[in-house]
Each structure stands twice: as C-alpha cells, then as structure tokens.
Amino acid sequence: MADIIMRAKPVVDEMARDIETRIAQLAEKGITPKLAILRVGAREDDLSYERTALRRAEALGIDAQVFALPSHASERQVLNQVEAINDDDSIHGCLMFRPLPKHINEQGVCDALDGRKDIDGISSKCMSDIYSDIPCFCPATAEACIRLLRHYDISLSGKSVVVVGRSLVIGKPVSMMLLRRNATVTMCHSHTKNLPEVMRAADVVICATGRAKAYGAECFAPGQTVIDVGINFADGKLCGDVDYDVVEPIVHAITPVPGGTGSVTTNTTMEHVVVAAEVAAGIR
Ligand code: NDP
C-alpha cells in the first residue's frame, strides 16, 4: 500500500475556503468574478469539462458564461469572439478549449486574448514568462501538479523528477515550474529510449501522455511519488495514464484518477479568475 494517496479533496477544500473569503471581499466592492468559457465545436471531452467548470463556478459564487461557436466557425469569427471577451469589463478570465479546429491558427487566437484575462497561460507571452520566471498565470493543470506536491509535503529541491509528456499545456510548463523549485528535471516523450528504466530511477514521476493505464509495475520503484495527469477512458471507466491498481502498492505516494489532478485543476482555474478580478479591482 502507498503511504499517501494524494487525493484532491483536502487541497480543494482549502482552496475553496480561501476563494470564498476573497469573493466576499470583492462583493463588498460590488464585484463578482466572471469566467468566460470559449468553445469551438462540441467535442465530448470539452462539453464534459465545461459542465464541471460551470458547476464549480456556481458552487464558489463565480459567474460563468459559455461562448460556443460551431466547429466550422472561421478564424475571423473566433478572433471576433476573443475581442468581444477582451472588451467586456465584466469578464475577468477566459478559458478556451483546445485544440481548436485545424483550419484555425490556434496560437494566433491564444495571443489575441488580453493578457489580464489569460487565466490558463495560453499566450506566447505567458509561456515566455514561465520560462523567464516572471510571475504570470501558469497553465492550471501544471500548477495543480505543484499544488498537490506542496500540499502533501513532497520535497522537490535536489530531487530527480521525470515528466512524461512534453505538451505546452502540461509537460513543458510543469517542467519549468519544477526547475524553479530546484528539482532536476528529465522530460520524456514518445521517442524516449528505455522509458521504464528512466522512470524507475526518479524520485517523482509525472505522467501526462493520455495513454490509458500505460505505465505499470515495470516503470515504478518503492519510495517514489507519482502524479497522474492522464484523463482517459478504458472499459467505459475513467482512468489515468498509470495502471493504478498495480502501481499504488509499490510507491510512496500517488494521485488517484478520478479525484486527483483534475479537481485541483478546476479549482486552480477558478482561483485564477478571482486573482484576475482582484487585479482589475486594484486590490492586488
Ligand atoms: P498531448 O497529446 O498534447 O501530449 C501528449 C504527450 O505525451 C506528448 O508529448 C507525447 O510525446 C507524449 N507521449 C505520447 N505517447 C507516448 C509514449 N508512448 N511514451 C512517452 N510519451 C508519449 O496531451 P496533453 O498534454 O494535452 O494531455 C495529456 C493527458 O492529460 C491527457 O490524458 C489529457 O486528457 C490529460 N489532461 C488532464 C488534465 C487534468 O486536469 N488532469 C488537463 C488537461 C489534460 P511526443 O511529443 O513525442 O508526441
């Protein structure tokens, strides 16, 4: 049995208490934080996350509005929507589902979003800030990994961390955030040779590849901490990238799926909206 199951619940409860206090302070100034959700098309995973985000926003007292465009919307139409969100002073943050349909220049759309509303760190400017250690909104999932490690007292300084997956959403930003915390980071991807061996040698492993239960006992060793970012379906059930049932008895600490990184990510997004509202109100 793992010594620690790194469940989201205590992290989320602590965040919710803080968020609610700050929302009450904003309410005294007549401000309600507001999230815009921009969706192009109707992919099932986007719709599912949208429902979760709307529920969470409502529970915390954050306004949320969905701006949905059809999958055949032109790049101009998407840019017009982003510009309308930028111009709407009642909106403090925007969550845009990606990937966008292939006919749209995604980075161009991300870069059109007002930096003050870029609560998921999607713009090139934000990415560059992360690499330069300049404070900004980090992508919520990457930040959720760090929050879980911090909450469960997993030290990072001098530790060897293997990040499997190198996407702009998770792998790359979380690697930079780990480096800033003095971890020795190895980034792995689909061309990495001897991946199980590389993973077994780490103190901490973060899996973010989207491969259901792909990492089993051969990839892990006693004493390790495992953060499973994957959200996949296998046999009709939600599961991570890690084969939890066989890995959990081996390692020191592990996040479950569901109930791990996903819930912390949603709450991190909500917290970013509150921060953006505080900045807009001049109280931060
Ligand atoms: P991407 O598809 O953008 O990236 C996947 C990464 O995994 C790539 O870097 C790819 O390598 C790597 N990879 C693929 N196959 C292998 C392999 N056989 N061995 C090693 N590395 C491999 O995915 P995302 O980063 O967007 O998402 C990853 C997972 O995280 C998904 O399950 C997604 O659903 C989940 N997710 C979870 C969130 C949460 O809140 N918990 C939020 C967002 C996503 P290469 O670059 O070489 O192709």
- Residue with the larger pLDDT of the pair 152 and 45: 152
pLDDT-based confidence at 284, cuts 50/70/90? confident
Q: Do 263 and 52 contact (CB within 8 A), yes or no?
A: no
In short, whether 211's Cβ falls inside 6 Å of ligand 1 is: yes
In short, whether 265's Cβ falls inside 6 Å of ligand 1 is: yes
What local confidence, expressed as pLDDT, does residue 276 receive?
Answer: 98
pLDDT-based confidence at 196, cuts 50/70/90? very high
- Dump pLDDT digits (tens) for 226-270: 999 999 999 889 999 999 999 999 999 999 999 999 999 999 999
Q: Which residues of 188-212 are buried (b: 16+ CB within 10 A; e: fewer)?
A: beeeeeebeebbbebbbbbbbbebb
Q: Do 226 and 251 contact (CB within 8 A), yes or no?
A: yes
State the average pLDDT over residues 195-203: 98
pTM of the entire predicted model: 0.96
State the average pLDDT over residues 3-22: 98
In short, whether 212's Cβ falls inside 6 Å of ligand 1 is: no
Instruction: Determine the 3-state secondary structure of 75 from DSSP.
Output: helix
Quick one: what percent of the chain has pLDDT higher than 70? 100
User: To the nearest whole number, what is the mean pLDDT of the chain?
Assistant: 97
**HSE-up of residue 270 (Cα within 13 Å, Cβ side):** 31
In short, whether 210's Cβ falls inside 6 Å of ligand 1 is: yes
Rounded to whole angstroms, what are the CA distances from 135 to 127, 128, 129?
Answer: 11, 11, 7
Instruction: Determine the distance separating the centroid of ligand 1 and the alpha carbon of 208, expressed in angstroms.
Output: 5
Of 250, 231, 239, 109, residue with least CA distance to 165? 231
- Dump pLDDT digits (tens) for 104-142: 999 999 999 999 999 999 999 999 999 999 999 999 999
In short, whether 8's Cβ falls inside 6 Å of ligand 1 is: no
DSSP string, 189-230: -TT-TTHHHHHHT-SEEEE-S--TT-B-GGG--TT-EEEE--
d(CA 225, CA 254): 6
- Dump pLDDT digits (tens) for 45-102: 999 999 999 999 999 999 999 999 999 999 999 999 999 999 999 999 999 999 999 9
